[in-house]
Amino acid sequence: MKTFFQKCLHFWLSILSIYLIGCTEEKTVIQQVAQVTYEIDSIDLYSSNIDKTRQKSDLQFISILYSNLFNASIPSNILNDLSQLRLSLGDKQLASEMMIDYFISNPAVIIPTTESMRNEPNSFIINTYLRFLQRAPKDYEVYALEKLIAENELLTSKEVYRAFTLSNEYQFY
């Protein structure tokens, strides 16, 4: 026959154990998610591009593009305007290209210089993958892009950014 005190103790110990188990599991989950701190936001990284199976919607594409290029959330008026412009053209690829060109021409866009790309191609490539594709590049990808940059003397950092934002992988998440 348990006393009232024992009953209470048993109840609270049960609650505490459930809480602790819950906390432990949550901690494990959090530890499993790879994270990178990139400028102001912390983002989850993909371990591989195989996980990207869903195509971005128009709104997702525009707002993510803006965030990636300016490291800031897109103002709602610009998002509305650009969504309307995208609706106003039948060729969505054309609309995307024109938006990218508009953003890239903006003085506030954050793009490394071509000189820094050529001086440190390895870190430029890794950072560009992290920034736009949210994953670390494979070794062969770094190697091949380094080679491309070295072989194409006129290739600029803006052009590389444009290629990343126009890539098929960038259309998916």
Partner 1 sequence: MKRRKFIKNVAYATGASLSAPYILPSGRLFAATGSRIANHVIFVLFAGGIRNQESVDQQFISNQAGFSAEGNLMENMLSGAKPSTAGSFYSPWDPILSNPLAEQGTLFKEMRYNIGPTGHYNAHAVAMTGKYMTTGLNLNVNPEFPTIFELYRKHNSPTNSALNAWWISEALGPYPSLNYSRYDGYGVNYGANYIQPSTVFADLGGYFANAESYQPDDVQRINTVKQFLDNNFDQVAEEIPGIKNTAEDRQLIKQFLVDTINGVVDGSVDLAIPPDVPLSSLNGDLINITTAWQILKTFQPELMVVNTTNLDVCHSNFSGYLNFLHQADWGIGWLWDKIQSNPDLRDDTILICMPEHGRNLESNGITDNQNGFVAYDHTSDENSRRLFSLIVGPGNVQSGQTLGSQGEPVGQSVDIVPTIAHILGFHDSIPSYLLDGRILTEAFI
Positions touching partner 1 (CB under 8 A) are 49-50, 52-53, 55, 81-82, 84-85, 87-94, 97-99, 101-102, 104-105, 141, 144-145, 148, 152, 154-155, 158-160, 162-164, 166-169, 171-172
The residue among 76 and 105 lying less far from partner 1, judged by its C-beta, is: 105
Least separation in angstroms between CB 9 and partner 1: 57
The residue among 28 and 77 lying less far from partner 1, judged by its C-beta, is: 77
d(CA 90, CA 143): 38
The residue among 104 and 136 lying less far from partner 1, judged by its C-beta, is: 104
Least separation in angstroms between CB 157 and partner 1: 11
Residue that is written with structure tokens 């901690």 in the block: 27
- Total count of residues recorded for the chain: 173
Least separation in angstroms between CB 55 and partner 1: 5
Q: Tell me the three state secondary structure of residue 120.
A: coil
Least separation in angstroms between CB 165 and partner 1: 9
The residue among 45 and 155 lying less far from partner 1, judged by its C-beta, is: 155
Instruction: Tally the C-alpha atoms within 13 A of residue 113's C-alpha that lie toward its C-beta.
Output: 3
Structure token digits, residue 155: 């290739």
Nearest to 125 by CA among 157, 166, 152: 157
Q: What angle do CA 114, 68, 122 make, to 5 degrees?
A: 40
Least separation in angstroms between CB 53 and partner 1: 7
- Burial (CB < 10 A; 0-12, 13-18, 19+), residue 48, is exposed
The residue among 32 and 77 lying less far from partner 1, judged by its C-beta, is: 77
- Our measurement of the distance from residue 92's CA atom to the centroid of its chain's CA atoms, rounded to an integer in Å, reads 22
